[in-house]
Amino acid sequence: MITPTVSASELRREQLEADPELAAMVEEERRKLEIGFKIQRMRQAAGLTQTQLARMVGTAQSAIARIESGEYERLSLTTLLKVTHALGSSLDIQFRRVNQRVRQVSSKLPT
């Protein structure tokens, strides 16, 4: 009898479904990497080095390297705006519901 194999992606999905805290951490890291990759691609498309972009933004080259690698803990909105402006781009922020359960705030005042 042949035993079916489970792919790594299936195992990961099962682990994330079983552990919401782990899933949140993985998603946060994925988003950091996504932001970093996008900034790196825009910088390279503009023909700039990390040092050149850092000078335009008013920061150190090492800060740009950390942003691009996803190895930052507190990337501020101000810094993101400076980077996107220096790269001739705009920053769009979207909010979307990830949990179907919505809290409703009562508009009634206590009597």
User: What is the three-class DSSP state of 62?
Assistant: helix
Domain ranges for the chain, please list them: 13-86
Query: Distances in Å between the alpha carbon of 87 and those of 19, 20, 56, 92, 110?
Result: 39, 36, 9, 14, 52
Question: 54, 63 in Cβ contact below 8 A?
Answer: yes
Entry pTM: 0.71
Distance CA 108, CA 62 (A): 52
Distance CA 30, CA 36 (A): 10
- The DSSP 8-state label assigned to residue 109 in this structure reads P
Distance CA 87, CA 48 (A): 9
- How confident is the model at residue 80, as a pLDDT? 94
Question: 17, 23 in Cβ contact below 8 A?
Answer: yes
Task: List the structure tokens of 43.
Answer: 């910088």
Q: pLDDT 10s per residue in the chain (111 long)?
A: 566 677 887 877 787 778 888 888 888 899 899 999 999 999 999 999 999 999 999 999 999 999 999 988 888 999 999 999 999 999 998 888 766 554 555 555 554
**If you classify domain 13-86 with CATH, what class do you get?**
mainly alpha
